[in-house]
Amino acid sequence: MNGLQHIVHVIKRGGRSGSWLTLPYIIFFLAFVAYPLIFSFILIFHRWNIVTPMEWSGLRNFSRLFADPLFFKALGNTGIFLVIHIPLQIVVALGLAVLLYSRIRLRGFFRAVYFLPVVVSGVVVTILWQQMYSYDYGVLNILLTNIGLPRVPWIVDPNIAMPSIAIMATWKNVGLYIVLFLVGLQQIPRDLYEVADLDGATKRTQFFRITLPLLNPTIAVIVILSTIAGFSLFIEPYVLTGGGPMNSTLSTVLYIYNQAFYFNHMGYAATLGLFFAFIIITVVIFQRKLIEKESYA
Amino acid sequence: MSRYRFFLFRCACVILIVIGCSEERKSPLTSDSSVVHLTYWPASNPHEIQLADSIVRMWNHLNPTIQVRMQPIPSGKSTEEILLAAIAGKTTPDVCSNIWPGALHDYTEAGGLVVLDDFPDFDSLASSRVPRELLEAFRSEDGHYHQFPWKTNPLMMFYNVRLLQEAGVDSVPRTYSEYLAAGEKVTRDTNGDGQTDIWMGERDILPIWWQRLMDFYPFYIAASKGKTLFLQGEIAFEGAAAEKVFAFFQQCYTRRLFPKTFFQGGAPFLLEKKATHFAGPWHIATLKKFAPHIEYGVTPILVPDDHEGPTYTTGDYKNISIFSTTRHPEAAWEFVKFLVRNERDLLLLEIADQLPLRGDLLTNSLFTDYFYRNPLMVNFARQVPFTRGLDKVPDLREIFDALSQEYEACSVYGQKTPAEAVRDAARRTRLILEWNR
């Protein structure tokens, strides 16, 4: 029974107060999910710049999409970001989680500190990193030159800019994944480690033979969550680099945003959005299948 | 509470919500049925707000039957976005004096503007101020005028006299070679900490389309001796002039005369961290307010070494339009006429240091005293006949975005030759035009 049938069933059953209670959600769903979704399906076959009436364009938006090198460049950039960001996120989060799970001093303090960037506004974090990454006046390059190393063109070199954004995004989000790993670590029975100690297993062996395999479900969740978050990369390149240098940080969402709100190509932006949603769904389903296969293997 | 009372309570809540959410529909004849009310949006910078406030006070005092309410353009990323959103939402004012001709196509396509040449005295008023040739540049594709040419801000080069003198630069650079040679002397590390403290110039390196209106575009107009990007709807920038401009800026970055960075915490020209700055006359008001100690001069935009003849630049025009949502077009037109009268043009100079778009700036005795007291503004006034606007093509922002990408690739990062950059910009522009045809 789907949601709508359930509501009809509840109303028929006479649960009028229940149906009243669902009304806010139904209104929200219709206004902010169903309507935009249907409208964007209509838009993909039209040309519309918000102020003039919609103009039927058939499949022109699709033919434009497949002939648009900048869109595929943005798609590639998003892929590069994911390839750098996801492994980095997992390694850093896991390392810090293991450290914070062990009995160290000020453990609570460090747990709070690592979580702090998660609750800070993305724009604030990006402006902060923009100052740190500045080629001539940034604190990172000042530190490097003080120890005799050359300056790094963090966000002004097309080859380095996207990894720099990935580092910043990792710093911003790692606290959330540390929490998830800590939950996973707490669920591993302690007696497994005690038995391993008795058998003479080293800490390294314990980590690779006990901790890591038992954290597989957590890693699966983190991979899927950070893939979805990575696909929606927007604030960092929007504020930090504007998509440059040389479009090397132009993410797919930023490109769609530019088409919609800079150039008012609403129909084309809707087409890009739909195509991108299809890619995200495909990747996430593929990831899930792969992880499930690995887990049961 | 009985069910009946609960029902009444819910009805009351719904009515209150509906009333609360409904648009406030002010009658144009609110308190007094004989009084017409107009809304006027000027630009939202402090000088223009002050100017608009003075003019509106004057108007309201003289015209008790047509009262104008001044409201600066609501804050947003750009005036154009705000106005487009207002057109879509039918919340435009009656009159706006910050109309950028580059966005006019979008406004007219949406039917957002009143045709001004339908007013019988439009032609006589416009041609009495603006030379006929320049006036034609503001005619829309449908043959009508939807904007009244109001003011211009010719882009020129500001230079810091002290920084040039200290570096041993005796004459102000006029050509690319002179500028690069001067830049080698000016750009330096003054305290020996390994970081450059004074730069010859600086431009925002973010590839944002409108940034190119402040560097590539005026330089292209100067190098092409007054040509714009298109000629009769066809691409005209694919040639030597654009290549020279890309090559010049490439030299500025390659020789490290311009930083590849983002300045934080203030404008580098005001902080005397750079010796030159490309801007319009509005920058004088900024310098007066924030850096009155700086001794500076103004000179035309740089030109290629083999350049001959006058130096052209971009006019950065801002015009006045009446929006089609107005219920009182006649009254709005009366107010527009009041805005562009000689006395108001003088106020525009006095308060905002911006130039009214008129052909007699240096000959009309009304302005003589102002230019005597502000000799630097004479440079800008002399530049007015040699200004050019923007092409009347759709998707101009996207075309400037394409140029911006190539400027970045070629000039800032040296990843393309100027010829490749111009070729790729033209190719992308053709695609944009084709896609949006």
- Bridge partners, B160 (sequence order): B296
- Bridge partners, B38 (sequence order): B68
Q: Which residues are CB-contacts of A112 (< 8 A; sequence separation ≥ 6)?
A: none
> Residues B339-371: pLDDT tens digits?
999 999 999 999 988 999 988 899 999 999 999
Contact B227, B176 (CB under 8 A): no
**Cβ separation B398–A243 shorter than 8 A:** no
> Please, which pLDDT band fits residue B24 given cuts at 50, 70 and 90?
very low
Question: How far is A46 from A31, CA to CA, in rounded Å?
Answer: 21
Tell me which chain B residues have a C-beta less than 8 angstroms from the C-beta of A263. Answer: 395, 397-398, 401
The SS3 assignment for B363 reads coil
Tell me which chain A residues have a C-beta less than 8 angstroms from the C-beta of B209. Answer: 262
Count of CB atoms situated within 10 Å of the CB of A118 = 15
Question: How far is B52 from B56, CA to CA, in rounded Å?
Answer: 6
**Cβ separation A246–B408 shorter than 8 A:** yes
* Structure confidence at residue A7 (pLDDT): 64
Average of per-residue pLDDT across B219-225: 96
Q: How far is A138 from chain B (nearest CA, A)?
A: 9
Q: Which helix (H) or strand (E) holds B150?
A: strand B148-152
Average of per-residue pLDDT across B248-270: 86
Kindly provide the b/e burial profile for residues A209-240, where b requires at least 16 CB atoms within 10 angstroms of the residue's own CB. ebbeeebeebbbebbbbbbebbbebebbbbbb
The model's pTM is: 0.80
Q: Classify strands B318-322 and B95-99 as parallel, antiparallel or unpaired.
A: antiparallel
**Cβ separation B109–A64 shorter than 8 A:** no
DSSP letter (8 states) at residue B113: B
Average pLDDT over chain B, rounded to an integer: 89
* Structure confidence at residue A26 (pLDDT): 93
Nearest chain A alpha carbon to B110: A52
> By percentage, how much of chain B surpasses pLDDT 90?
64
**Cα A25 from chain centroid?**
26
Question: How far is B369 from B377, CA to CA, in rounded Å?
Answer: 12
Q: How far is A246 from chain B (nearest CA, A)?
A: 5
**Cβ separation B106–A51 shorter than 8 A:** yes
> Please, which pLDDT band fits residue B30 given cuts at 50, 70 and 90?
very low
Chain A interface, best mutation among B206, B261, B398, by max A CB count within 10 A: B261
Q: How far is B217 from chain A (nearest CA, A)?
A: 19
Closest CA to B180 of B250, B280, B246: B250
Question: How far is B176 from B163, CA to CA, in rounded Å?
Answer: 19
Question: How far is B269 from B236, CA to CA, in rounded Å?
Answer: 34
DSSP letter (8 states) at residue A232: T
* Structure confidence at residue B90 (pLDDT): 87
Instruction: Please give chain A's pLDDT, 297 residues, in tens.
Output: 566 677 667 666 656 677 788 889 999 999 999 999 999 999 999 999 887 888 999 999 999 999 898 999 999 999 999 999 999 999 999 999 999 888 777 878 888 888 889 999 999 999 999 889 988 778 898 899 889 898 898 988 889 999 999 999 999 999 999 999 999 999 999 899 999 999 898 989 999 999 999 998 899 889 888 898 899 999 999 998 888 888 899 999 999 999 998 888 999 999 999 999 999 999 988 888 887 776 655
Q: Classify strands B36-41 and B95-99 as parallel, antiparallel or unpaired.
A: parallel
| pLDDT at residue B4 greater than cutoff 70 | no
Tell me which chain A residues have a C-beta less than 8 angstroms from the C-beta of B110. Answer: 49, 51-52
| pLDDT at residue B13 greater than cutoff 90 | no
Point out the residue among A50, A131, A243 whose CB comes nearest to the CB of B207.
Answer: A243
**Cβ separation A137–B87 shorter than 8 A:** no
Question: How far is B305 from A131, CA to CA, in rounded Å?
Answer: 38
| pLDDT at residue B20 greater than cutoff 60 | no
Point out the residue among A137, A247, A258 whose CB comes nearest to the CB of B261.
Answer: A137
Point out the residue among A64, A246, A265 whose CB comes nearest to the CB of B415.
Answer: A246
* Structure confidence at residue B350 (pLDDT): 92
Q: How far is CA A153 from CA A157, B87, B430, in A?
A: 5, 43, 33
| Terminal-residue alpha carbon distance, chain A | 34
Which phi and psi (to 5°) does residue B226 adopt?
A: 100, 10
Chain B interface, best mutation among A17, A20, A49, A271, by max B CB count within 10 A: A49
DSSP E strand stretches across B240-295: 276-279
**Cβ separation A135–B259 shorter than 8 A:** yes
Which phi and psi (to 5°) does residue A217 adopt?
A: -60, -40
| Terminal-residue alpha carbon distance, chain B | 64
The SS3 assignment for A83 reads helix
Closest CA to B271 of B291, B245, B250, B255: B291
Nearest chain A alpha carbon to B87: A51
B344: which 2 tokens? 């108001």
The phi-psi region of residue B191 (left if phi > 0; otherwise alpha if psi is between -120 and 50; otherwise beta) is: alpha
* Structure confidence at residue A20 (pLDDT): 81
Tell me which chain B residues have a C-beta less than 8 angstroms from the C-beta of A49. Answer: 106, 109-110
**Cβ separation A51–B401 shorter than 8 A:** no
Tell me which chain A residues have a C-beta less than 8 angstroms from the C-beta of B106. Answer: 49, 51, 264
Tell me which chain B residues have a C-beta less than 8 angstroms from the C-beta of A264. Answer: 84, 106
* Structure confidence at residue B296 (pLDDT): 96
* Structure confidence at residue B199 (pLDDT): 94
A129: which 2 tokens? 């990193």
B352: which 2 tokens? 């905002």
A100: which 2 tokens? 């914070």
Point out the residue among B195, B413, B435 whose CB comes nearest to the CB of A64.
Answer: B435
Tell me which chain A residues have a C-beta less than 8 angstroms from the C-beta of B208. Answer: 242
Q: Classify strands B313-314 and B230-231 as parallel, antiparallel or unpaired.
A: unpaired
Q: Which residues are CB-contacts of A104 (< 8 A; sequence separation ≥ 6)?
A: A110
> Please, which pLDDT band fits residue B23 given cuts at 50, 70 and 90?
very low
Point out the residue among A51, A145, A241 whose CB comes nearest to the CB of B194.
Answer: A145
> Residues B169-206: pLDDT tens digits?
999 999 999 999 999 999 999 888 777 889 999 998 87
**Cβ separation A50–B84 shorter than 8 A:** yes
**Cβ separation B413–A67 shorter than 8 A:** no
Which phi and psi (to 5°) does residue B314 adopt?
A: -85, 145
**Cβ separation B110–A52 shorter than 8 A:** yes
**Radius of gyration from C-alpha coordinates of chain A:** 24
**Cβ separation B88–A51 shorter than 8 A:** yes
Q: How far is B237 from chain A (nearest CA, A)?
A: 21
Question: How far is A128 from A259, CA to CA, in rounded Å?
Answer: 27
Instruction: Give the number of A-B residue pairs with CB atoms closer than 8 Å.
Output: 81
Question: How far is B149 from B2, CA to CA, in rounded Å?
Answer: 67
Q: How far is B246 from chain A (nearest CA, A)?
A: 15
Question: How far is B105 from B394, CA to CA, in rounded Å?
Answer: 6
Count of CB atoms situated within 10 Å of the CB of A28 = 11
Interface of B with A (CB under 8 A): 81, 84-85, 87-88, 106-107, 109-110, 112, 194-196, 205-209, 259-264, 395, 397-398, 401, 405, 408-409, 412-413, 415, 431, 435-436
Average of per-residue pLDDT across B59-67: 95
Angle between helix A3-12 and A16-29 (nearest 10): 150
Question: How far is B418 from B412, CA to CA, in rounded Å?
Answer: 11
Question: How far is B314 from B148, CA to CA, in rounded Å?
Answer: 18
Nearest chain A alpha carbon to B197: A136
* Structure confidence at residue A71 (pLDDT): 94
| pLDDT at residue B22 greater than cutoff 60 | no
Closest CA to A112 of A175, A177, A184: A175
| pLDDT at residue B29 greater than cutoff 60 | no
Tell me which chain A residues have a C-beta less than 8 angstroms from the C-beta of B87. Answer: 51
ipTM over 0.90: no
Question: How far is B74 from B42, CA to CA, in rounded Å?
Answer: 10
Q: Provide DSSP, B172-229.
A: ---BHHHHHHHHHHH-B-SSSSSS--BBS-----S--GGGGGTTHHHHHHHHTTS--S
Contact B339, B55 (CB under 8 A): yes
Q: How far is CA B212 from CA A241, B216, B254, B431, in A?
A: 16, 5, 19, 20
- Bridge partners, B99 (sequence order): B319
- Bridge partners, B355 (sequence order): B152
Tell me which chain A residues have a C-beta less than 8 angstroms from the C-beta of B398. Answer: 262-263
> Residues B70-118: pLDDT tens digits?
999 987 767 888 888 888 888 999 999 999 998 888 888 888 899 999 9
A203 or B164, higher pLDDT: B164
Cis geometry, peptide bond prior to residue A245 (ω within 30 degrees of 0): yes
Question: How far is A79 from A70, CA to CA, in rounded Å?
Answer: 14
Q: How far is A24 from chain B (nearest CA, A)?
A: 14
